[in-house]
Chains A and B, each alone.
Chain A
Amino acid sequence: MRYIPASDADRRAMLSEIGKNSVRQLFDSIPDTLQLGRPLDIPHARDEWSLLEYFERLAGLNRRHAVSFLGAGVYPHRIPAIVDDLVSRSEFYTAYTPYQPEIAQGTLQAIFEFQTYMAQLTGMDAANASLYDGSTALAEGVLMAHRITGRKRFLCARSVHPEYRMVVETYSKRLGLSLETVGFLDNGRVDTEDLGGRVDDDVAAVVVQSPNVFGTIEDTFALAEPAHRHGALLVVNIAEAASLGVLKGPGMTDTASRRADIVVGEAQSFGVPMSFGGPHVGFVATGRERVRQLPGRLVGEGRDRDGNRAFVLTLAAREQHIRREKATSNICTNQSLCALMSTIHLAALGPAGLRDLALENVQKAAYVRRRIASETPHRILFDGARFNEFVVRLDDFEGTWERLLAEGVVAGLPLVRWFPELEDALLVCVTEQHSMEHVDRLLKGLAA
């Protein structure tokens, strides 16, 4: 086996040095009755080239050349070549968690930079070293709000990504937390009146997403106030982090009552391939007084014995390897390499590049939306402001959908799978990656 250096001669020599006759003897501690005693029934070994052929065939079954206007939590953005080149360095991708800071300063400093970028973008004081993804970050944000307030009732906007809500539901019901949903208005925003009427002194947090699953931008500052009046927290989820290139982060206000308490999200938009939905990179950010309640790893700045600046995993007293069942979370790892992708991409973008990227998304999506409204028989739903997604209700859904698909265009995501009242509605995402030719193909298919 090419990944294993030991030859038969090596094995014999090593066995004889340790006084054993056979490899089999090394497994004497496993009772005979528990040993398998036959070869595993899996396919026989392939050489490197036949392995590549096998996967090339499977990759070819995925119709990647379709023009897709899918978003909904996973966004097609351009990724500069330097991202993959740098994360392909063995020094980064074959290292482990930076337990030994003296020989892991590269990973540690890069994570510290990621934490800083996330704090800057969200306008919060501090962010963690990343979490598995946006959906689990939201679940962790909800558990964190429960720890801080001691309350068990949550009001969650229906316009939070439904798969995120399902994950929160899975986590919260085992801990006796209740998750009530709040509806949305005709403009796509959360129903503030309904929300205001239901938030009371039992509510741990109000949970919203911006831009929400319909692409509508929420006014999180206005949503913070009713929550705070009752001692509840505001948890904001950001599934499309590129929106922060143009939108204020939920922490960007001098008025404490208008500021979000916990901001979670997904940074896939920065340099991480879509990869069929993972691995991506979640984050959680909060105010400085609550950093000790954060889940997951944190990197801090410190000094070495000689007084040099050095970075190190810190506040480990929150974590499972010290606190065991009393830990803030059971999480052991972060998504370091994906966080590194985001950090490299953000470094390459800089403030001007990020702004350009965000504006291109806003303008192009708005342009396509205008054209659909004026050139096709379909109806635009939700008139609120948006970043790069919008909803259109199709006239003759089946016919239009199939016609576009036959032309190699996946026009968006049918929302009826999550919202029965949004039958025939498509969530359409337009980013900088869509060319004018893609847009024309979409329009042609929709107009026909």
Chain B
Amino acid sequence: MTRRDRVARHASLNERLVFEKGSPGRRGSDLSAADFPRRELSELIDDELVRDSIDGMPSLAESEVVRHFTRLSDWNYHVDLGLYPLGSCTMKYNPKVNEKIARMDGFADLHPYLPESLVQGALEVQKRLEECLAEITGMDRVTLQPAAGAHGELTGLMMVRAYHESRGRGRRSILVPDSAHGTNPASARIAGYEAVHVPSNAKGTLDLDALDRLTNPDVAGIMVTNPNTLGIFEGEIARIAERMHAIGALVYMDGANMNAMMGVARPGDFGVDVLHLNLHKTFSTPHGGGGPGAGPVAVKDALAPFLPAPLIERDGDGRCRLDDERPESIGRVKAFHGQFGMHSRALAYILACGPNGLREASETAVLNAAYVRSKLEGAYHLAYGAPTLHEVVFSDRFQAAHGVHVMDIAKRLIDYGFHPPTIAFPLVVRGAIMIEPTETESREELDAFIDAMLKIARECETDPDRVRSAPHTTRVGRVDEAEAARKPVLRWRPPAGPAAN
């Protein structure tokens, strides 16, 4: 059966947009109006500011809404279904009990402006999480305000700037390795810095000579991802930190890969001054189809005065309070108290694991990655020979010789029932295939993935067309991304007549 036939046959594969469904007069939500005297609307709001209707908004019954979104959900791959080996994304299992906790009465329905005396439980969750994250990273203070990793980067870099300004001069540039995630240079720019790229050496790590050449008094700091995006630990990190500190510059660590070393090593012990964590990576909060995440920032004492306000302080009697009196603070980076629903989940994860469980998580994540590396080496070109931790980066070099490229391999993996790894990143590897299995995969699941990857490697030699035309099993085939970007259609509009708005 071809894809077209299947699409033609199954109602569930043909679910249209919600705007193309329903019928006027149907209702999916009732509201029994309370009994109190009302006025004419025109007495309350000027007529010219009142809208007549909401053009194009569909009317569906509750059951139709449920069926619509249930059908959509069926078209998604997800981590509860199988291995999701996106490198640097840490797609680990999201514990179910954490979902229950975040939804408890008293958390989900809590207004952020309730008086402090009425929100002691929520503040305790945040304070306890802050304390755990400080211990895990070896840092002194933590802000939970940033909403995501990139937001944490921006917050951290603004603090770097505030630190330098407090010493008389903001400085001009931030050093960013060429293997860094794209958010690093983008965050540097929004913090008002110029991003200066530092090349990697042949071993895939920071080039100390290049670093020395680029180091000057205008450098405010360096952004290091450790282990880096190749999965390699920057073994010279302590020396790099010494050199930065010698010129008064700071070390920022992108903590995206913290899952490699919980309980094994701590950034605060190797010279890092400020770092962000991704609760949705290392600390198991669900990715939600692309958010919400949360990006706490941890700092050493020297940077603590610049943390966003407010911070939670514990008084002598153990009660928590919000401290807004922070004159050197960079200000607020988000309204209210951060992504609280992610904070409760992350704390639940940490408390479920304990010190041994967190170490076991990192050890197993590294073991799983080493196992995959060892089994795929030979069939796929290993980009760098250096030892790797929680992830490993191959390239499509061997397969490219047969005219098959990384995108084809990724799409073919879908036919074998797996989400593809991160591809075409990091940029320092041409045709990169970046695999991070995480600790929550069983040996059998890893073996099935390895088997699929090896079969695809053989197919690239024996039947390259089959790989190039993949995926063959999905509801839709490969999407023409270039065409979609050329004439962007970003919303539904009614089919007939001029646009309503």
Contacts and interface: CB of A to CB of B under 8 A. Distances in A.
A76 B108 CA distance: 11
A199 interface: no
A62 B117 CA distance: 8
Contacts of A303: 479-480, 483-484
B405 interface: no
A107 B113 contact: no
Contact of A90 (B4, B80, B263, B371): B80
A211 B356 CA distance: 51
Interface in A122-172: 123-127, 129-130, 132-136, 143, 161, 163-164, 166-167, 169-171
Given A36-B265, A46-B351, A410-B114, A246 B501 contact: no
B245 interface: no
Nearest to B151: A132
B154 to A, nearest CB: 6
19 contacts: A3-B284, A29-B233, A34-B270, A45-B353, A59-B121, A63-B118, A82-B66, A89-B70, A91-B76, A110-B72, A110-B289, A119-B490, A124-B501, A171-B190, A175-B190, A279-B294, A344-B65, A349-B29, A356-B33
Q: How large is the interface on A (under 10, 10 to 19, 20 to 34, 35 or more residues)?
A: 35 or more
Given A64-B110, A316-B481, 7 more contacts: A1-B356, A63-B118, A113-B17, A134-B335, A275-B102, A314-B481, A351-B59
B147 A330 contact: no
Contact of A34 (B189, B269, B367): B269
Given A29-B389, A126-B490, A347-B65, A353 B233 contact: no
Contacts of B70: 86, 89
A310 B479 contact: yes
A249 B51 contact: yes
A314 B335 CA distance: 29
Interface centre among B29, B53, B356 (most CB of A within 10 A): B29
A352 to B, nearest CB: 6
Contacts of B330: 170
B72 A410 contact: no
Contacts of A308: 3-4, 7, 476-477
Contact of B158 (A84, A174, A252): A174
Contact of A27 (B44, B186, B264, B443): B264
Contacts of A298: 488, 490
Contacts of A301: 484, 489-490
Given A26-B363, A93-B288, A247-B45, A323 B186 contact: yes
Given A14-B367, A308-B7, A347-B60, A274 B112 contact: yes
Given A110-B69, A312-B484, A351-B54, A274 B122 contact: no
A101 B477 CA distance: 9
A67 B3 CA distance: 55
Interface stretch (A190-198, A223-231, A361-369, A392-400): A361-369
A312 to B, nearest CB: 5
A279 B195 contact: no
B419 A59 contact: no
B39 A363 contact: yes
Contacts of B352: 2-3, 45-46, 48, 51
Contacts of B104: 55-56, 59
- Secondary structure at chain B's binding surface: helix, strand, loop or mixed? loop
B269 A327 contact: no
Contacts of B291: 97, 130, 132, 279, 333-338
A125 B232 CA distance: 46
B55 A120 contact: yes
Contacts of A377: none
B330 to A, nearest CB: 6
A35 interface: yes
Contacts of B120: 61-62
B175 interface: no
B166 to A, nearest CB: 14
Interface stretch (B92-100, B395-403, B454-462): B92-100
B115 A357 contact: no
A43 B358 CA distance: 11
Given A96-B290, A252-B51, A276-B336, A330 B150 contact: yes
B105 A64 contact: yes
A348 B62 contact: yes
A174 B330 CA distance: 10
Given A35-B265, A92-B288, A96-B289, A43 B351 contact: yes
A420 interface: no
A238 interface: no
Contacts of B27: 350, 352-353
A435 B73 CA distance: 36
Nearest to B371: A14
A448 interface: no
A88 B41 CA distance: 38
B335 A73 contact: yes
B302 to A, nearest CB: 20
A207 interface: no
* Shortest beta-carbon contacts, A-B, top 9: A277-B336, A45-B354, A337-B288, A302-B484, A59-B106, A277-B112, A61-B121, A279-B292, A90-B80
Interface string A408-448: 00100100000000000000000010011001000000000
Nearest to B99: A88
Contacts of B103: 84, 273
B257 interface: no
Contacts of B105: 59, 64
Interface in B481-501: 481, 483-485, 488-492, 500-501
A57 B263 CA distance: 28
A109 B334 contact: no
Interface in B271-297: 284, 286-294
B202 interface: no
B379 interface: no
A132 B341 CA distance: 13
Interface in A300-317: 300-306, 308, 310-317
A383 B393 CA distance: 64
A120 B501 contact: yes
Nearest to B475: A105
A15 interface: yes
Contacts of B72: 105-107, 109-110
Given A96-B86, A163-B335, A316-B485, A68 B76 contact: no
A41 interface: yes
Given A3-B93, A42-B135, A171-B190, A102 B150 contact: no
B290 A334 contact: yes
